[in-house]
Amino acid sequence: MFDRLVLFCLCCCCLVGVFADSNAVKSVSVMEGDSVTLNPDLSDKPPDNLIMWNFKTNGPLIAKINQATNDISIIDDVPDGRFRDRLKLDHQTGSLTITNITTEHAGVYQVTISSKTKTVYRFNVTVYAHLPVPVIISDSPQNSSSYCSLVCSVVNVCHVTLSWYKGNSLLSSISVSDLSNSLSLRLECLDDSYSCVVSNPINNRTENVNSTDLCRPCSDCAFCCHASEALARLAVSVLVGVATVAIVVYDIITSRKGVNERRRDLLIQYKTTVHDNSNCKAI
Ligand SMILES: *[C@@H]1O[C@H](CO)[C@@H](O)[C@H](O)[C@H]1NC(C)=O
Ligand SMILES: *[C@@H]1O[C@H](CO)[C@@H](O)[C@H](O)[C@H]1NC(C)=O
Ligand SMILES: *[C@@H]1O[C@H](CO)[C@@H](O)[C@H](O)[C@H]1NC(C)=O
Ligand SMILES: *[C@@H]1O[C@H](CO)[C@@H](O)[C@H](O)[C@H]1NC(C)=O
Ligand SMILES: *[C@@H]1O[C@H](CO)[C@@H](O)[C@H](O)[C@H]1NC(C)=O
């Protein structure tokens, strides 16, 4: 019984030796419209292999190379003609080239190399669609006073990442798998270059916000806020200063006329300033 078990194990080892299935699936990423060449490693193989390419694991045979007889055959009408006029073979390297690739050519390609031994390699081909330039719109109410809302969107792409950048810093990002997606950004005002980037693992497209039609520029705001802040400070110090003087004046020369007029001047000045200030905040 034990002997048989050992024998069985030995047989298993022999089988593994003869049929080497390289379990690792090689990942290949390609842009739609590009060509991709799948290259099996023949470095430790004799130059007389029979090489068979299948689409999908154990799927239809799409190409065959007999290195011993120098025969090449491309069977590009299976499974449904999607490979028609797109396949190229190199009988020396055993490589398969798929030209003008589309998303329907994505999937696992299996190559079986047979001579004295048999080796199987797999390639997992991922085809990425061309990315559209993202579109940026403002969805804040026109002449909005408190904030500016920018919405970046892409349509008809899947499995992409949509990100907002301010200069080179990432502000926010979403990974999207839907066909139509958007990512919004809420800003006080536009003070730097903002950009929206749509990306997949091999490509990206960028759209910049450089239009102050979309948002009020911060330079306006800064000027406005700084100016009125300065005015407010000035007014407060003037008020405090003058009030002190007024009190002193009131205390010392209460009987003098004209104080009331001065006070009214002061009041008017203060009110005007406050009015300016609230205007700024409302812009
Ligand atoms: C590539 O494939 C697309 C879709 O099948 C086709 O419309 C286009 O004409 C092809 N381009 C070339 C250069 O063969
Ligand atoms: C092929 O790659 C895709 C995308 O990376 C992955 O989702 C899929 O599971 C892979 N398939 C195999 C058989 O490795
Ligand atoms: C926005 O402000 C501009 C200039 O102040 C003005 O011409 C325009 O009519 C305003 N738009 C709306 C929708 O209020
Ligand atoms: C966009 O792609 C370029 C070149 O492919 C790369 O240098 C850059 O870092 C990418 N940008 C982003 C935000 O992914
Ligand atoms: C942004 O600026 C670049 C160059 O400065 C210009 O080519 C592009 O048309 C501008 N885009 C918008 C939306 O104004």
Angle between helices 218-252 and 259-282 (to 10 degrees): 160
In 129-263 the beta strands, taken as DSSP E runs, fall at: 135-138, 148-155, 160-166, 169-176, 180-187, 194-200, 203-209
Please check whether residue 279 lies inside any domain of the structure. Answer: no
Domain count, the chain: 3
Distance of CA 175 to the CA centre of its chain: 7
Beta carbon of 27 within 6 Å of any ligand 1 atom: no
**Do 87 and 33 share a structural domain?**
yes
Neighbours of 245 (CB within 10 A): 12
Residues in the chain: 283
**Do 236 and 167 share a structural domain?**
no
At 253, list the tokens: 């020369």
CA distance 84 to 73: 13
Tens of pLDDT along 42-58?
988 899 999 999 999 88
Report residue 142's pLDDT band, with 50, 70 and 90 as the boundaries.
low
Please check whether residue 105 lies inside any domain of the structure. Answer: yes
Q: What is the value of pTM for the model shown?
A: 0.62
**Do 249 and 210 share a structural domain?**
no
Atom 5 of ligand 3, nearest CA residue: 143
Tens of pLDDT along 56-101?
988 999 999 999 999 999 998 888 999 999 999 999 999 999 999 9
Mean pLDDT calculated for residue range 108-116: 95
Q: Which domain holds residue 214?
A: 135-219
**Do 61 and 109 share a structural domain?**
yes
Cβ atoms of 17 and 80 closer than 8 Å = no
At 85, list the tokens: 């006029």
At 261, list the tokens: 């007029």
Residue of 150 and 275 predicted with greater confidence: 150
Nearest to 93 by CA among 53, 47, 127, 126: 47
The domain boundary residue, chosen from 219, 235, 261: 219
Query: Ligand 3 mean position to 143 CA, how many Å?
Result: 6
Strand 61-66 vs strand 36-38: parallel, antiparallel, or unpaired? unpaired
Query: Ligand 5 mean position to 26 CA, how many Å?
Result: 41
Query: Ligand 3 mean position to 115 CA, how many Å?
Result: 79
